Structures are given as structure tokens and as C-alpha cells.
Amino acid sequence: MKALRNYIDKIKPHFEKGGKFEKLHSTFDAFETLLFVPNTTNKNGVHVRDAMDMKRTMATVVLALVPALLFGIWNAGYQHFLATGQEMDFWAMALHGAWKVIPIVIVSYVTGLVIEFIFAQLRGHEVNEGFLVSGMLIPLVLPVDIPLWMVAVATAFAVIIGKEVFGGTGMNIWNPALLARAFLFFAYPAYMSGDTIWISGLTNGEGIVDGYSGATALGAAVTSGNVDKFSLMDSFLGFIPGSIGETSTLAILLGAVILIYTGVGSWRIMLSVFAGGFLMALGFNAIGTTPLMQIPALHHMVLGGFAFGAVFMATDPVSATRTTRGKYIYGFLVGVLSIMIRVFNPAYPEGVMLAILLMNTFAPLIDHFVVEGNIKRRLKRASVNA
Amino acid sequence: MSEVIKIKKGLDIPLKGKADNVFGQAQLPDLFAIKPTDFHGVVPKMVIKEGEKVKAGSVLFYDKYQPDVKFVSPVSGELKAVIRGERRKILEVVVQSDGKNESLDFGVQDIAGLDREAVVKKLLEAGAWPYLRQRPYDIIARVNDTPKAIFISGFDTAPLAPDYDFIMTGKEKDFQAGIDALKKLSEQIHIGINDEAASKVFTNTKGVELHRFKGPHPAGNVGIQIGQVMPINKGDVIWTIQPQEVAAIGKLFTSGKPDFERTIVVAGSEIKKPAYYHTILGAAVTPYIGNNLNASENLRLISGNVLTGSQISDDGYLGFYHSQLTAIPEGDKYEFMGWAAPGFGKFSTSRSFFSWLTPNKNYRLNANMHGGKRAIVVSGEYEKVLPMDIMAEQLFKAILVEDIDKMEQLGIYELAEEDIALCEFVCTSKMNLQKILRDGIELMIKELG
């Protein structure tokens, strides 16, 4: 690695101020720090620091997303051949899925990172690692048959309007990946819902076996009134149509284990989203006037994007509440609202995205009240002692 | 005996190079220095010129804002140099020792017969006043204040910190005399002791209230102990002092001469033989590290501990309040793909490094930042290592936007740098939290006085 380091040191002056490629400084810096942890040492304050940094934090989240991604790739192929009625082996399915999914991932990363690099250069700071996660989250919440240009447009919207206008990673109000999805949903509703978009090839009218519907479980529930076609076990394992990464609750839980064990993701939020959703669903079961209300609470947990939202979206530390107590409240309300929107809004039977975006908006308010509580405790202590 | 106060939040950073309870032998150095930068908010005014003779206890400089607070020479000899930095700011006042160790005599006095004024006067003229520091703000105590209480922490939980049980053995009488003198300044004197140590010096002391603490660092920080016993509210003033300084005050009254002898611990992964040394306040560190360093790579010398100490060069001096000298690797090297490596040898509170497989290992940590500075992203990190009911992140944000009301409401009065040093250690975004807090405190002093 010595040779590589020497080479970097040799070309480095060209990217510094006054050098030939001054305009690419941020880009150079991003790649340099990716290859080598910098040699900067602590100047004032603590002399030793925890080995954890933002790169590792974000890399851990990406790692946690890998099970969902891999399953999503396989499932894209599985669903495709199910729809076309062909018998295929595991590798054929995986290959077909990869053929569809990998380009989406690439488009998302390239679009987002180019924008990030440009903004970092304009602002004169280092490239933030936040997009490493967003760039993976965006493909995983999109339907597999989405046109690639839409991925690019949505990513650009999410990065610029969702993040950079607020000041970049750490400053945004909403989860950028969900913003990308919300943008597509409201800008191109015809593409983002219906019975064909979820299965690779269906939009182009590739052959469908008789009686096959490409609708998601929740979509089917709105029209047919039940989710009987999607057994609890199939839904948990993920053999159902849906966005690329959201179908397998098992793969998502694997990711959750990684996040919680490493301490990167908040178990408080995950737990309270599931608690809120489960209790809300139980409540609806008790009323039970519409078909959607009658979906068993446990089944709600494994359908649609609920688990994915709870584990990967609601826990985004920047857009979630930041106080410990606030996390319980925030997570619980995300769960409650997800199921509520799901049940009451037949036009769009998936509520997780909207619930999280709404609670992102209210997160600062929740934090405000938690902080006020702390201030009041302090004031009370002062007046008791006075 | 009061009940044990359990501190749950916090972190003991397992560093290599802890000293056993043994003394090392070293000659006293020729040079000693008092560093005005050790005292927050002090603007030094020199009293003597370079080349003038001094005795131990002779005034070197005083504080522009509190002219009664004098800083004295710890040894006899002559003023060798006044080292200045940018804009002629005085950094070090260096005294060359003549080895005779003559000191000024302030007269033996029976403490019992003295009133508050006499004690204050003596502490001021003998240069012992700066030992007393006040909370809030962690600055030298103001002469005209009457504190609600005086707090002493009888143990230090910082990484590789000295064992006060060991240091204070043999100083029982001086310590008691010091406490008697301090009693004239404040009725209430509280000592926090480690539940797991014998702390004989402290438990045998009369006229103090003892509190037992148990738990990881920062349980030994006086600020944390105050927070548990009588949290500081707006308007409260509490003074703090360290055990060795109490003994020095005691000796001042019983012998009439100012006492600058200190015991320090020299520790850290790069010290060949970590041990305790007898020395004198402000000593040059050369004799203690001379042949005692592993010199395989660039090193960092720290007066104090790795969390709050100040970096010094290898011909630097001990800080005024420090009883510890630490040496660690500088770590100014690039590390290939370091952020992605499994990290068996890296210490982290997050379990994303595989070092969680070896929980009892001691680490050779270096001064590398391990990453770049970022905006705050991860939440809830600071609270895990701050055993106080304080919302650290929100407080730091209030400081950054200079919102004085919020700073006050969120508890800035209760904190000093040492209390939040662990927050800085764990911060994924590598923020300089101690600096932020000090800036906030300086703003408070400027605006509110």
C-alpha cells in the first residue's frame, strides 16, 4: 500500500488550492479518505478518540441492507418467472433479478454522488457519507419495473431538495430516500401503483399466466377485501410482490440485528414502531368494519413496507427524534399512523412512507417537549432548594 | 456512613501502561514553569523581570482581573524566561532552580484561632489561592464569594489516573490541617470517595461529609459528584480543590512555608516503566521521560490524562493542576481502508469493531482522530457517557448558536470540560466538545459576569 500512498501524495498538490485540478478537490479528498483513514491527530480536547467514524457508521447500515438487497434481487426474478409461468432454477432467477435491480442501484448512486460531490466542492467541505446509505435505500423502496430515468430524477430531487438545500447530511428534515419515493408517487402516480409495476417485465406486457395478478398484498386487499392469497409465512419470508427490498421481513430483521448489535440503529425506535403498529392493528381488528381492518395484526407487520420502514427508515437519526424519550413517542406514532393510513386510504394502501415523512416533520416538536421537560425539572430543583 | 451512590453511565477506556503503586527514582529538573494558560480567564501581569532572584513563594505574576490572586514561584532560583506566543500572550513563566530550595516564610499559625479573613489573606499571599476553583465555570475561585460548599474528589477515574490512596498516604496530618483551614471558608466540606478503595486518609478526616461513589469514569470527577449531591442551580457557587492541594494548604499553615511538593504518576503505553514520582509543581518533565520512553514512532506527551490533559513537548512542564504525565503514540499515519477493516485492535463503544470479542484487553490507543469531522448525525451517544440529567447535544447546539437563555436552562452551570470529555471521545462526528463548552462558558462570563 506504500506505493499507492506515495502515488496519492505525489498527485495531491494538483488538487490543492492553486493546483491544476483545484475544482476536483472534494472529489479527490473523498477518494483519498476512502482509501486511507487520514493522518490528522487530535489538536485540542481529548487526545484519544473512539475508532468509530461516519464512514464506518454508514458502511454498517449498508451492510445491514445487504440481506434485503440480495433477497430483493432473487425475488425480482422469482416473481417474474412466476408471472410468466416459466420454471427456472435459483441462478436464473438471481440473474434476472440482478439484471433488473443492479442498474437501479447504479443509477441511484451515480446520480446522488455526483450531486453530493458538486455541493461539497461548492461549499468547500468534505463529502459526507450520508448518501452511501440513501443511495442504497432508494432502490430498495422502488418497484422493480421502474424506468431508470425516474430513478435518476427522484434521486436528484431527494438529494437537492431533500438534503442539500438544508445544508447537507445532518441538517435535513425528511428522510431523503423516502422523499425520493414520495416524489415519484405524487409525480408519476400511474407508474408507482397498480398491478404491473411490481413485477419485472409486466409493464412491458410480457406474458402473464392466466389468473395471475401482480398486485401487492395490500393492493389486493383493497380490491378483493382480504390478504388470503398471501400467507403469513410467505409474507414473512418475502415470496410476495412489492418494492425491491421490502418484501422479506426475515432479511430485514437480519439487518435489524446488525444495526442493534453494533449500536448503529436505535432499537427504541424499531421497537416502538412495531408496538404502535401492532396495537393500532389490534384496535382495528376489534372494530373490524372494513376488510382492511380485519387483516390480523401480525400479518400487518410483515406486509408492505412496514418492517423495512421501521428498521431502516424511521431510524434515520437525522430525521428522527434525537432525545431518548422522544424516540419512543416518535416510533410509536409512526407505527400507529402507518396502519391507520394503510387501512383508511384505499387510494394508496401503503401508509409507512407517509407516516414516517409526517413524523419526520413532527420530530423536532416532540424533541422540543422532551427538552422542555428537562428544563422544567431543572427549574423545579432550583426553586425547591432556594 | 452515607449510602453508595451508583453511577451507571460512563466509560472506562482500557489503556495500556497503568502504573503499579511503586515509586521511580529521578533527579529534580533545573527548570520549572507556571503556565498562565492553565488558568481559565486569567490575564497575567508580570511582577518581576527576567534574571531577578526568586524564592519559593515569591510572586511571579498576578491576575489582571483579580489582582489579589497571585501566582508564585515553586522553587528558589532566578526567573529565566517569559515565553510568549502570538500577540505576546504569556505562555510559560520559567524559573531556573538554584537547587537550594529556599522559601519565603509566611509564619506558623494555629488554624483554630484564625478567622475567615486571615485564612483568605494567607492563601492569597502564599500563592495557594489558585488551588481553589469554582463551579460553575471551572475558574479560579473569586475572593469575595462565599461558596455553598467545598467539594473534593478523593479518587480519579480517568484513564491511567493516579491512585489517591497511594499518593496521600503519609500526608494525613497535612490533609487534616488543610481541611481545618478550608472549614473557615465554608461550613460544608464534601469528599467523594471510591466505594471500592480503602480511602483511609479521607475516612479518618474529621469535619467533612463523605460520599461513596461506585461506577465507571467520570464517577471520580468532582463535577459529577456535585451533580449527585447538590446539583448547581443558577446563582450557586461551589468550590472545588484536589487532595494534594488541600495537604499543601495544611502544610502552609503548620510550617509557615508554601508547599509545592507533589506526587505524580507517569503512565501510558509508551512509558517503559510506569511509576509514581515525587516532584515539584511545574517541573520540567525531562527527568521522568528521559530514558523511559519507547521511541519506535512519534509520541505525544500529555500533562494530565488522555481526555482532558494538555499536549506538551518533551522539554515541556507539568500543568498546575495535573498529577499525571501520559505518553501515547501520536498516530500521525495513514491507515489503508481503516474504516472498513474488522478492527480487532481498535477500541470503540460501538460493536461494529470486532474488538468486542476481547472485552478485557488493554489498548495502545493513539492520538489519531480516526476519521473526519462531520455534522452531528448519530443521536443519543453523549447521554450514554454523561451521568447527569443533562441533554448534552441540545446544550452544545445552544452554545453553538450562542443562545444564553437556553444554555442556562439546559444546565451549563453544572458542567466543566472534564465532565463532557467522554462525550467528545465517543462522538462519531469528531466534534471538539470541550472547546465548544469552554466557548459557551466564556460567553456566559462575558455577558453575565
Read off the CATH number of the domain in which B315 is found: 3.10.20.600
More confident position, B164 or B353: B164
Average pLDDT, chain B: 92
pLDDT surpassing 70 at residue A310: yes
For B409, what's the count of Cα atoms within 13 Å in the CB-facing half-sphere? 14
Instruction: For an interface test with B, give the residue of A29, A34, A56 to mutate (most B CBs within 10 A).
Output: A56
CB < 8 Å to A317, chain B: 377-380
Q: Would you say A285 and A278 are in contact if contact means Cβ atoms under 8 Å apart? A: no
Mean pLDDT for the stretch of residues B391-401:
95
Asked if residue A13 belongs to a domain, the reply is no
What does the longest C-alpha to C-alpha distance in chain B come to? 69
Distance from CA of A236 to the nearest CA of B (A): 27
Q: Does residue B205 form part of some domain?
A: no
Contact A302, A235 (CB under 8 A): yes
Position A331 pLDDT exceeds 90:
yes
Question: Where are the strands (E) in chain A, listed by range?
Answer: 36-37
- Residue-level pLDDT at A210: 63
Question: Which among B331, B358, B391 is the end of a domain?
Answer: B331
Whether the CB-CB separation of B377 and A130 falls below 8 Å is answered with yes
Partner B, chain A 129-188, Cβ-Cβ below 8 Å: 129-130, 167-171
User: For residues A93 and A75, what is the distance between their CA atoms, to the nearest angstrom?
Assistant: 8
DSSP label at residue B266: E
List, in order, residues 6 or more apart from B48 with CB less than 8 Å away.
Answer: B54, B58, B59, B60, B79
Amino acid (one-letter) located at B363 = Y
Which of A38, A262, A378 is the closest to B350 by Cβ? A262
Q: Packing angle between helix A267-287 and helix A249-262, nearest 10 degrees?
A: 140
Q: What is the mean pLDDT of residues B24-38?
A: 94
Total count of domains within chain A: 1
Question: Which A residues in the span 229-268 are in contact with B, Cβ-Cβ below 8 Å?
Answer: 261-264, 266
Name every chain A residue with its beta carbon within 8 A of the beta carbon of B404.
Answer: none
Q: Encode B146-157: b = buried (16+ Cβ within 10 Å), e = exposed.
A: ebbbbbbbbbbb
Q: Which residues of B touch A322 (CB under 8 A)?
A: 379-380, 393-394
Q: Is B192 in contact with B152 (CB distance < 8 Å)?
A: yes
A55, A168, A264 ranked by CB distance to B350: nearest: A264
- A253, pLDDT greater than 60: yes
Does B81 reside within a domain?
no
Tell me: the pLDDT tens digits for A124-183?
777 888 888 999 999 999 998 889 999 999 999 999 998 989 988 888 999 999 999 999
ipTM value: 0.90
- Residue B419 forms part of a structural domain: yes
Give domain status of residue A160, yes or no: yes
Tell me the shortest Cα–Cα distance from B171 to chain A, in angstroms: 32
Residue given cell 418497484 in the structure block: A143
Is the residue at B168 inside a domain?
no
Is residue A196 pLDDT above 80, yes or no? no
Q: B51: helix, coil or strand?
A: coil
Contact B80, B96 (CB under 8 A): yes
Which chain B residues are Cβ-neighbours of A38 within 8 angstroms? 334, 369, 371-372
Contacts 24+ apart (CB under 8 A), B420-424: B420/B382, B420/B386, B420/B392, B421/A45, B421/A46, B421/B218, B421/B307, B421/B308, B422/B10, B422/B11, B422/B217, B422/B218, B422/B307, B422/B385, B422/B386, B423/B381, B423/B382, B423/B385, B423/B386, B423/B392, B424/A45, B424/A46, B424/A49, B424/B307
What DSSP letter does each residue of B288-324 carry, written as one string? HHTTTB--SS-EEEEES-TTT-EEE-TT-B--TT--E
- Report chain A residues whose CB lies below 8 A from the CB of B388: none
3-state helix, strand, coil in chain A (%, to 5): 65, 0, 30
Q: Which of B370, B380, B389 sits opposite A374 (nearest CB)?
A: B389
Lowest-pLDDT range of A42-46, A360-364, B3-7, B81-85:
A42-46
Nearest CA of chain A to the CA of B263: how many Å? 23
Q: Is 90 exceeded by the pLDDT of residue B121?
A: yes
**Per-residue pLDDT at B271:** 93
From the list B42, B110, B117, B24, the residue with the least C-alpha distance to B321 is B42
Over residues A98-108, the mean pLDDT reads 94
The owner of cell 419485472 is A200
Per-residue pLDDT at A386 exceeds 60: no
pLDDT value at A309 more than 90: yes
- Distance of residue A104 Cα from the nearest chain B Cα, in angstroms: 25
Q: Does A3 touch chain B (CB under 8 A)?
A: no
CB contact under 8 A, A52 and B426: yes
Name the pLDDT band for A347 (thresholds 50, 70, 90): low
pLDDT attached to residue A14: 81
**Cβ partners under 8 Å of residue A231, min gap 6:** none
User: A235 φ, ψ to 5°?
Assistant: -70, -40
- Helices and strands in chain A: count of H runs, count of E runs: 16, 1
Mean pLDDT to the nearest integer, A215-220: 74
**Burial class of residue A85 (count of CB atoms within 10 Å of its CB; 0-12, 13-18, 19+):** exposed
Q: Which of A37, A126, A264 shows the shortest C-beta gap to B370?
A: A37
Residue A60: its pLDDT value, please? 93
Q: Which domain holds residue A71?
A: 54-371
- Comparing CA positions, the residue from B343, B337, B371, B340 lying closest to residue B356 is B343
- Report the gap between the CA of A196 and the closest CA in chain B (Å): 38
What percentage of residues in chain B have a pLDDT greater than 90?
80
Residue A254 has, within 13 A of its CA and on its CB side, a CA count of 17
In a domain, B196, yes or no: no
Q: Rg of chain B over CA atoms, in angstroms?
A: 22
**B167-196: average pLDDT:** 93
Instruction: Return the pLDDT at B164.
Output: 94
CB-based contact B314:B304 (threshold 8 Å)? no
Tell me whether residues B380 and A45 touch, CB distance under 8 A: no
CA distance B365 to chain A (A): 7
Q: Which residue of chain A has the CA closest to B346?
A: A51
Question: What is the C-alpha separation between B76 and A198, in angstroms, rounded?
Answer: 86
Burial annotation B268-290 (CB, 10 A radius, 16+ → b, else e): bbbbeebbbbebbbbbbbbbbbe
A264: in domain = yes
The answer to whether B137 and B129 have CB atoms below 8 angstroms apart is: no
Sole residue written with cell 430531487: A157
Query: Do the Cβ atoms of A202 and A216 come closer than 8 Å?
Result: no
Model pLDDT, residue A28: 80
The predicted model gives B371-393 an average pLDDT of 91
Tell me, yes or no, if A371 comes closer than 8 A to chain B by beta carbon: yes
Residues whose CB falls within 8 Å of the CB of residue B55, separated by 6 or more in sequence, listed in order: B73, B76, B102, B103, B104
> B321-351 pLDDT, tens per residue?
999 999 999 988 888 877 777 777 788 888 8
Average pLDDT over chain A reads 87
Interface of A with B in 314-353 (CB under 8 A): 317-318, 320-324, 327
pLDDT above 90: percentage of residues in chain A: 48
For residue A220, name the pLDDT band (cuts at 50, 70, 90). Answer: confident
Q: Is residue A29 part of a domain?
A: no
Write out pLDDT tens, residues A5-18.
888 888 888 887 77
Q: Pick A115 or A86 by higher pLDDT.
A: A115
What does the block give as the cell for B202? 479521607
Quick check: A317 and B379 CB within 8 A? yes
Grid coordinates of A76: 425480482
Distance in angstroms between the alpha carbons of the first and the last residue of chain B: 39
Distance CA B326, CA B346 (A): 19
End-to-end CA distance of chain A: 64
Q: Is residue A385 part of a domain?
A: no
* Interatomic CA distance for residues B432 and B421, integer angstroms: 9
Give the pLDDT band of residue B159 (cuts 50, 70, 90): very high
Look at residue B344 in the predicted model and tell me its pLDDT.
76
- Cα–Cα distance, A137 to B245 (Å, whole number): 58
How large is the greatest C-alpha to C-alpha distance in chain A, in angstroms? 80
Q: What average pLDDT does range A358-362 have in this prediction? A: 96
Task: Say how many CB pairs under 8 Å bridge A and B.
Answer: 215
Whether B319 contacts B94, CB under 8 Å: no
Q: Is the pLDDT of residue B1 over 60?
A: no
A264 with B391: Cβ contact below 8 A: no
B201-248 confidence digits (pLDDT tens): 999 999 999 999 999 999 999 999 999 999 999 889 999 999 999 999
Residue B412's domain comprises 382-448
- How many domains, in total, are found in chain B? 2
pLDDT of residue A209: 65
Please give the average per-residue pLDDT across B98-103, as a whole number.
Answer: 89
Cell of B76: 528558589
CA–CA min distance B217, chain A (Å): 14
- The 3-state DSSP class for residue A165 equals helix
pLDDT at site A80: 87
Q: For A230-254, what is the mean pLDDT?
A: 89
A85 in B contact zone (CB under 8 Å) = no
Residue B356 scores a pLDDT above 80: no
Beta-carbon separation of B306 and A262 below 8 A: no
Label residue A85 by pLDDT band (50, 70, 90).
confident
Evaluate whether residue A32 is within a structural domain: no
Q: Is residue A31 part of a domain?
A: no
Kindly list the distances between the CA atom of residue B440 and the CA atoms of B43, B402, B411, in Å, as whole numbers in the listed order. Answer: 19, 7, 12
Q: Give the Å distances, CA to CA, from A351 to A214, B220, B311.
A: 20, 50, 55
pLDDT at A170: 85
The CB density around residue B361, as the number of other CB atoms within 10 Å, is 12
| Structural domain includes residue B98 | no
Across the interface, whether the CB atoms of B377 and A170 are under 8 A apart is answered: yes
**Has residue B13 been placed in a domain?**
no
pLDDT for A20-73, tens place per residue?
777 777 778 888 887 888 888 888 889 999 989 888 999 999 999 999 999 999
Confidence grade of residue A212 (pLDDT, cut at 50, 70, 90) = low
